[in-house]
Structure 1
Amino acid sequence: MKTFMRRPVAVPYSVYPQREDLPDPNVLPVPGGYYIYSTNHGQVNVPVLFSRDLEHFQVLGDAMPVLPRWARRGLTWAPDVTAASGEYRLYFTARLRRTQYQVIGVATSRSPQGPFTATKRPLVRMLELGGAIDPAVHTSERGTSYLYWKNDGNAAGQQTWLWGAELTQDGLGLASAPVPLLSASETWEHNLVEAPQVIEEGGIYHLLYSCADFGNESYAVGHAWGDHPLGPFTKTCDAPILSSYGEVAGPGHSHAFRTESGEWRLAYHGWEAGRCGYPHGRRSLHLAPLHFGRDGVRVGLEHLV
């Protein structure tokens, strides 16, 4: 699988009311339903919802009501929750006190609802590269876990890269040096890449990532593939696999997951067309089928029912 078809648009649908802000969604499947986490909203550090059917949602509150001492309140972004060894680990972005930079932390809980308790120090800093944001974890079929993230170079006038590293067995540290995976090289990426996620399907590692400006209609989702969780990764098409369509503008910061029946779904946020950016706009939750085939990865055209 080394050549992929151009995939310009998709026609999914909104599953959470557009008046509700749920940016940078992360979905954790559990027996009997799904937990959904998002970037901070108001006084809630890590909003968490639960759904049995991905159509009806119950707001549960704050998965991490108490931030670690090193984190400044109000800037807790892009959570990623994974289950491992009888506990749950929350990887998150937060502002490092006494700096202007975001860094990545990790917290643990016995329940997916929380409360999660963070470690005393950040997991990834990269202050010399503008900080680190957008963590995501992939656990290979062999049981080895890897962390992926972006150096927040655009916050410091530097280039942005996607990075990966193997995690220690307890998931609380890095077991290998960070590896640069890819940076912006295509016109439609607008010199910025972020929000990486690696998933494994058919013996191939698929890297999904977002690009361009999250605050307008240029935001989109790209795709690359590799034979190893840490690459090298090769971009596979001359356009994003998901970009603005219909009434949805700037779809991105996606998270792929399997449903209870084993089908792949892609969760992502999107602005309402003509209402991009805060304070007037909201990034609502959307879902779409995710298909794998000889022509690569495709975001489903059909509506979910």
Structure 2
Amino acid sequence: MNTSWPVPAAPRPLVPHAEDLPDPTVLPVPGGYFIYATNNPAAHVPVVFSPDLENFALLGDALPHLPGWARPGFTWAPEVIAVEGGYRLYFTARLRGTRRQVIGVATSASPVGPFVAAPRPLITMLDLGGAIDPDVLIAPDGKRYLYWKNDGNAAHQATHLWGAPLSEDGLSLAAGPVWLLTASEPWERELVEAPQVIEEGGTFHLLYSCADFGDESYAIGHACGESPLGPFWKTSAAPLLASHGTLAGPGHSHAFRDERGQWRLAYHAWQAGAVGYPHGRRSLQLSALHLEGRLARVG
């Protein structure tokens, strides 16, 4: 393990394909990869380290203390980026006094944490059901953009994907939100979420999840555009990745470049025959991601 990071002396070995690591995000660093996931009974933001994407160790909780506005037990879909002098953690949490999820931001000098959350949420969208699933693009010109979903299905409303430029310090939006995409295909089942935008060769690829995370219908879709905020158009009448073989309901993906510069896709999936809690686990999966012009394929 890269000893330049302050990690516990004896981190717990982890078998990611057998343990619950939903909504994964990957932060490549010199010497390895940090992986963050949705809360579990022991941590608000579990953080895992892997030197090679083959061996994994659970380090602990990157966000050991929630801000006063957040209710415990609903801390989802973290995203961590490097900024000058430290790191930013974007996360989803339940706003106290409501039944709505909102997005917060936290700061740390280390990718391990502890991250300290800002005293107020970054994005709420309460009139649209709340806001979840933050993700950040660092564009080729160095500008940062935040993407998320309005949690309309929590309030019997439509779900949409949104984006906005971030301030230079990453702690606020630099402009208002832009609508990017909504469900239009039968296999999306009227729900889109978990957006991520990545850039390759001047094309901006929007990866997103759709349908019901709790069953085999969950899948990953793909769209592309010519700027970080679109407009985006869907490139296929079928999912980029759907249930297959022993994997059921793959989704909430995060694309990243490995140490060789190759695109990889992290996502979670149930095991066929063990879909849904309490018996199933949304385990971490890793696949190759190929971007070919305006198209994408997995595997």
User: 1:28-67 maps to which residues of 2 (within 5 A)?
Assistant: 28-67=27-66
Normalised to the residue count of structure 1, the TM-score between the two structures is 0.92
Residue of structure 2 in register with 1:273 after alignment: 272
1:103/1:122 contact within 8 Å kept: yes
Residue of structure 2 in register with 1:116 after alignment: 115
Residue of structure 1 in register with 2:138 after alignment: 139
Residue of structure 2 in register with 1:189 after alignment: 188
> Cα deviations across residues 82-131 of structure 1 (Å, max 9, x unaligned)?
00112100000000000000000000100000000000000000000000
Q: 1:292 offset after TM fit, Å?
A: 1.4
Q: 1:17 offset after TM fit, Å?
A: 4.1
> Cα deviations across residues 123-158 of structure 1 (Å, max 9, x unaligned)?
000000000000000011111100000000000000
Q: 1:296 offset after TM fit, Å?
A: 1.1
Q: 1:294 offset after TM fit, Å?
A: 4.2
Q: 1:59 offset after TM fit, Å?
A: 0.7
Q: Does 1:95 align with 2:94?
A: yes
Q: 1:275 offset after TM fit, Å?
A: 1.1
Letter aligned with residue 161 of structure 2: L
Q: Does 1:260 align with 2:259?
A: yes
> Cα deviations across residues 247-271 of structure 1 (Å, max 9, x unaligned)?
1000000000000110000000000
2:66/2:72 contact within 8 Å kept: yes
Unaligned runs of 5+ in 1: 1-14, 301-305
> Cα deviations across residues 201-259 of structure 1 (Å, max 9, x unaligned)?
01000000000000000000000000110010000001001000101000000000000
2:235/2:294 contact within 8 Å kept: no
1:18/1:282 contact within 8 Å kept: no
Letter aligned with residue 242 of structure 2: S
Runs of 4+ deviating beyond 6 Å: none
Residue of structure 1 in register with 2:106 after alignment: 107
Q: 1:293 offset after TM fit, Å?
A: 1.5
2:16/2:56 contact within 8 Å kept: no
Aligned counterparts of 1:287 and 1:222: Cα–Cα separation in 2: 17
3-state SS of paired residue (2:187): helix
Aligned counterparts of 2:135 and 2:116: Cα–Cα separation in 1: 18
Residue of structure 1 in register with 2:238 after alignment: 239
Q: 1:19 offset after TM fit, Å?
A: 3.2
Percent identity, aligned pairs only, is 68
Aligned counterparts of 1:105 and 1:233: Cα–Cα separation in 2: 26
Unaligned runs of 5+ in 2: 1-13
Residue of structure 1 in register with 2:172 after alignment: 173
Q: Does 1:223 align with 2:222?
A: yes
Residue of structure 2 in register with 1:10 after alignment: none
Letter aligned with residue 287 of structure 2: A
Letter aligned with residue 89 of structure 2: L
Letter aligned with residue 265 of structure 1: R
Aligned counterparts of 2:237 and 2:100: Cα–Cα separation in 1: 33
2:264/2:286 contact within 8 Å kept: yes
Normalised to the residue count of structure 2, the TM-score between the two structures is 0.94
Residue of structure 2 in register with 1:21 after alignment: 20
Letter aligned with residue 259 of structure 1: D
Letter aligned with residue 183 of structure 1: T
Q: State how many pairs are aligned.
A: 286
Aligned counterparts of 2:46 and 2:24: Cα–Cα separation in 1: 10
Letter aligned with residue 181 of structure 2: L
3-state SS of paired residue (2:153): helix
Q: 1:16 offset after TM fit, Å?
A: 3.9
Residue of structure 2 in register with 1:152 after alignment: 151
Residue of structure 2 in register with 1:70 after alignment: 69
Residue of structure 1 in register with 2:80 after alignment: 81
Q: Does 1:214 align with 2:222?
A: no
Across the aligned residues of Structure 1 and Structure 2, the Cα RMSD in angstroms comes to 1.0
